[in-house]
Amino acid sequence: MSRTTADLRQADVIVVGAGPGGSTAAFHLAQAGLDVLVLEKTAFPREKVCGDGLTPRAVRQLLALGIDIEAPGWIKNHGLRIVGGGHQVSLPWPDLAQFPDYGLVRTRMDFDEILARHAEKAGARLMERTSVTGPVLDEQTGRVVGVTAKPVDDQGRRTGDAVTYRAPIVIAADGVSARMALALGLAKRDDRPLGVAVRTYYTSPRHDDDYLESWLELWEGKPGHSRLLPGYGWIFGVGDGTANVGLGMLNTSTAFGSVDYKDLLRRWLDHTPVEWGFRDENMVGKVGGAALPMGFNRKPHYSRGVLLVGDAGGMVNPMNGEGIPYAMESGEMAAQAVVQALGRPAVARERALAAYPAALDAAYGGYYTVGRMFVKLIGDPRVMQLAARHGLPRRTLMRFTLKMMANLTDPRDGDTGDRIINGLSRLAPTA
């Protein structure tokens, strides 16, 4: 029997946003047999400013979803090459029980749609070009019982009348804008780090590099003979004749907010080898920028029937600026909490939903506290310069650093580095 219009606007769970976190949550909810409605303001395929590099932490999530990463378009990488202080070191991804020993590259133009369609195949209902305008509150309890949304036209403009969609639980995976959280009064915390990243694509012979590459120092000229620029850079081969090239900066830098990031990118790349192709005539598309909300910069992650996932909850890793695996992991954790909650009477659901922020704190709280201390240190370019100059030649130290920054350890039976990192994360307070 076909659904009525009213039925189509009713669900067990509403997911706002079909990025990696929202689509992962929707997949797991649909797999559990729940009626999940995903509202996405854009239409696929759509671009998203990102480095496109996926560490083994993200690969583990893709494998758990059943994504076919052997299909065309997925480019494997073996580790991270770090450049700085006159040194260069190539570090393979660690061999761990918990994570695969390879990473991937896939443009967000493809990546997000692959996950969204995968959730659809599992049974999730996806509505594109549907922009959520705010929560619907129960007048007596103040809980969120749905959302209002408007259709979006071909130019990305809201149009027509607002439509109400109802569900007892809402997952807000609406990215850095976090409009659902803001509507509930959940403002971002200014005592948490924030990053800004810009990136573009170039046709380049480096498109098939099987290592991700990170530059810890950005020189306006030859190293040691010109000005050290703030921030860090990356070069990730996409495998299709182009490379994703960009840079990021943290708000712990004194230059944050006062520089032209696009100009900064060009000044760095003007001094890379010409044969790499990182010049304006080889640029594909435009330079795009995005904010990186880090280290739990928005809390609480559950309030009045709404669970925050991914960037909406400020879950970017402050150590390396990586957001995709934490969006996907938090989406899975949110789905688990929702499944447990909806398996109970309405009056008994809160305890199950409260388990979600507790799970996040247990997984990331101490590690992100360590990360916040880390970004305060590297906000001083002199510290980064010293670390690059004296740290890169020491491979044992750099292998430890790679594990720590990428959050890649085994909880049990790991090596000494794993035990140190895990111990620091357990001892650090969660706030």
Q: Residue 15 is part of a domain; what is its CATH number?
A: 3.50.50.60
3-class DSSP state of 122: helix
Residue 46 covered by a domain = yes
Question: What pLDDT is attached to residue 295?
Answer: 94
Residue 84 covered by a domain = no
Residue 125 covered by a domain = yes
What are the backbone dihedrals phi and psi of residue 341, each rounded to the nearest 5 degrees, phi first? Answer: -65, -45
| pTM attached to this predicted model | 0.95
Question: What pLDDT is attached to residue 220?
Answer: 67
Output the CA torsion 144→150→152→158 (10° steps).
-110
Q: Would you state the structure tokens that stand for residue 71, as one six-digit string? A: 């299909």
Residue 30 covered by a domain = yes
Residue 23 covered by a domain = yes
Question: What pLDDT is attached to residue 226?
Answer: 63
Question: What pLDDT is attached to residue 227?
Answer: 65
Structural domains counted in the chain: 1
Residue 94 covered by a domain = no
Question: What pLDDT is attached to residue 255?
Answer: 75
Tens of each residue's pLDDT in the chain, 431 residues: 467 777 789 999 999 999 999 999 999 999 999 999 999 999 999 999 999 999 999 999 999 999 999 999 999 999 999 998 888 999 999 999 999 999 999 999 999 999 999 999 999 999 999 999 999 999 999 999 999 999 999 888 999 889 999 999 999 999 999 999 999 999 999 889 899 999 999 999 999 999 999 998 877 666 555 667 767 899 999 999 999 999 998 888 777 877 888 988 998 899 899 999 999 999 999 999 999 999 999 999 999 999 999 999 999 999 999 999 999 999 999 999 999 999 999 889 999 999 999 999 999 999 999 999 888 887 777 777 787 788 888 999 999 999 999 999 998 777 899 999 999 999 998 87
Residue 127 covered by a domain = yes
| Residue in the structure block whose two tokens are 């019982």 | 145
Residue 260 covered by a domain = no
Q: Which long-range contacts (CB under 8 A, 24 or more apart) does 358-361 make?
A: 359/333, 360/296, 360/301, 360/313, 360/315, 360/330, 360/333, 361/430
Question: What pLDDT is attached to residue 327?
Answer: 98
| Domain residue limits at 364 | 5-69+107-189+295-369
Closest C-alpha among 405, 318, 293, 422 to residue 369: 318
